Structures are given as C-alpha cells and as structure tokens.
A and B are shown apart, each in its own frame.
Chain A
Amino acid sequence: MTTTKAGGRALQVTTPSDREIRITRSFDAPRQLVWDAYTRPELLKRWLGAMPGWSWAVCEMDVREGGRYRWVWRGPDGAEMGLGGEYREVVPPERLVTTEKYDQAWYPGEAVGTVEFTERDGRTTLVTTLRYDSKEARDAVVQSGATGGMEMGYTALDTLLASIAAA
C-alpha cells in the first residue's frame, strides 16, 4: 500500500487481486455532494481531467443502469482523447459501476470501474476499484505490455527508488 497526503486527505493505493487496483481517497463533504460531482455532467466537467491546454469537447452521460456515457477532451494541435462506456449499477449516493473503454485503447474489451461512496461524520470516503471484466482482456493487456507493464513498473519503480534513496 502506498499512502500520500493530498491537501491533508490521505490517498491510498492497494492491489486487492491481480486483476484489480483499488484507490481510496476521502473528501471533506457529504457523499451526496461527491455523488453529484461524479454523476452530473456540469459538475464532472469542472474537475475531471481538465489539464492546461485541454478542454472538454463532449460530455454526455445518461446516468442510469444501462445508460451510456461519452467523454471527449480536445487538446493542443487538434489532439483528441475520448472514452465511453455503460453505467452498470447506479445506486445513489452509494455505488456506481461503469464499464470504460478508451477510443485509442490498444487492448480488447472493457474495464469495469466500481466507485463506492461511504459517509462518516460528514466526510466521504471514495473507494475506486478497477477490474478487467475477463481474464482474456486482462491477459491481452498484459501481453501488449504497456498498461500491465506500466502498473508493474509503477510499483516496482517506487520500490526501487526507495531502495536507492536508502542506499
């Protein structure tokens, strides 16, 4: 597990299984508000992915079970980046399960992201779990190298740099 502080709010990354990665982050707000920020396009657009030089081109989301979403960002030199998927479970303000696939993805299949909203004392803990929906898709990603290797590399590099720093 890796922990860091983000504005005084602890962020954790864990790996519950070899098909999953789990990110935990808490927010100083009731979960209804966090839920809204995740499910209402006018709010989502204000926080998700708006890097300098990039802006939202498409933000369509039909937040109900079976509904679809489509997000596209436009960047410098006409670059575009998009993803979309389906809302599989919508249980406000507790649980959101979506599939997701990037336009430029080089792997087959979709990933499933589960976001769980838990409130305690007016604070919301957000647990995001990413999981490939089939072993085949996971394996394909791993074989393609980049994404699987990236995550391996992320963990490995952290460890390596820590050991180098300690040396």
Chain B
Amino acid sequence: MPVSWPKLGAESPPASRGLTARPVVHNLLAMQPIGYGNLTPARLDATFAALADPTRRAILARLATGEASVRELAEPFTMSQAAISKHLKVLERAGLISHGRDAQRRPRKLEAAPLAEANEWLERYRQFWEESYGRLDELLEEMKRTAKPRASGRRATSKRKGRRER
C-alpha cells in the first residue's frame, strides 16, 4: 500500500542504523509517472551503493568542503591509506568524485551531478507519495462533509457483499 516520504533534509536525519538494505517496492510506481527515463538506473545504483557506507559518506562530506589528497582524507579515520583508497575507488566508479590535476598530490574532488541526480530521484519519489496523501487529506475532508448526515450505521463494508468471510 502507499508509502509517503518526508522531504529531504528533514529536521532529524535517520541514524546510521538505518543503513542496512531495506527493499522498497514502490520505486517503479514513483519513477515512471514522473519521467524517470532520463536517469540511468545503473548510475543511480552505483551512487546509492557508494553512499551506503559511512566512511564513504564521511569522505564525501569532507570533500564537500574542498579538494583533499588521499593522505588528508585518511587522517580523520583509523584506517590505512590503502583502505581509504579502496573507498575512493568505489566513489570514483560511481562518478561521485574525480581526480584533480596535480599529478603528485592527486587531490580528489566532489562531483555534484550524480548526487544531484540521486537527490532529484528521491525528491520526486517522495513528492509522488506526499501528493497522494495530500489528495487523500482533501478527499477525507469532503467525505466528512457528505458522510455526516448519514453517519449513524454507515459501514462501507455493507456496500459490498462477500467482503469479509469472518
């Protein structure tokens, strides 16, 4: 049944315990009516897979403040540069970061487009359900007005035979 989604950047971001995979079955319903076709699912998958790791998100958050070398990126973590490099490769494959020009330092920088694309998808997805629930609010108001005069004994279930077996 319908799912509604909060606006992005809502006041209390989900805690990291929410990062395990949870299937959502409404993606198609959400994406198709809104012209999802111009976004590539493979790329979105790569973006979301890359974002699923807390270290990689921390790296992206760091890069959002400016370019940084692998050594600089590794500093805040209790992790080897090799381990950080692995994460960087994932981010690079997803197109979320790129190399700077400096051949020695090879600074990484954030690529905004895939994030924006993912954000757009999610935003539309939520919009779809928010709009549906918004219309439900309106419909209920209307139903309240029309239902009142005959509210007593009104049961939707009586309108359809065989609706419930027990």
Contacts of A156 in B (CB 8 A): 19, 48, 51-52, 57
Q: What's the least CB distance linking A102 to chain B, in Å?
A: 5
Contacts of A2 in B (CB 8 A): 6, 10, 12-14
Provide the bound-state CA to CA distance between A156 and B127, in Å. 18
- With an 8 Å Cβ cutoff, the count of chain A residues facing the other chain is 93
Give A5-41 interface residues, CB cut-off 8 Å to B: 6-7, 9, 11-13, 15, 18-21, 23, 25, 27-30, 32-40
Q: Is there contact, CB below 8 Å, between B140 and A113?
A: no
A151 in contact with B24 given A2-B12, A3-B11, A49-B132 (CB within 8 Å) = yes
Selected A-B contacts with CB under 8 Å, 28 pairs? A3-B6, A3-B11, A25-B133, A29-B141, A37-B143, A47-B138, A54-B33, A66-B165, A73-B33, A90-B163, A100-B1, A128-B1, A128-B2, A130-B24, A130-B25, A141-B23, A142-B21, A147-B23, A152-B48, A153-B48, A153-B51, A155-B19, A157-B51, A158-B9, A159-B14, A159-B57, A160-B57, A167-B65
Contact with B along A143-166 (1 / 0, CB 8 A): 001111111111111111111110
Q: What's the least CB distance linking A135 to chain B, in Å?
A: 11
Q: Is there contact, CB below 8 Å, between A33 and B147?
A: yes
Provide the bound-state CA to CA distance between A53 and B33, in Å. 8
- With an 8 Å Cβ cutoff, the count of chain B residues facing the other chain is 77
Contacts of B134 in A (CB 8 A): 6-7
Q: Does B115 contact A (CB under 8 A)?
A: yes
Q: What's the least CB distance linking B109 to chain A, in Å?
A: 14
Provide the bound-state CA to CA distance between A141 and B27, in Å. 12
Q: Is there contact, CB below 8 Å, between A33 and B140?
A: yes
Provide the bound-state CA to CA distance between A52 and B23, in Å. 27
Contacts of B16 in A (CB 8 A): 159
**Chain A residue with minimal CB distance to B144?**
A29
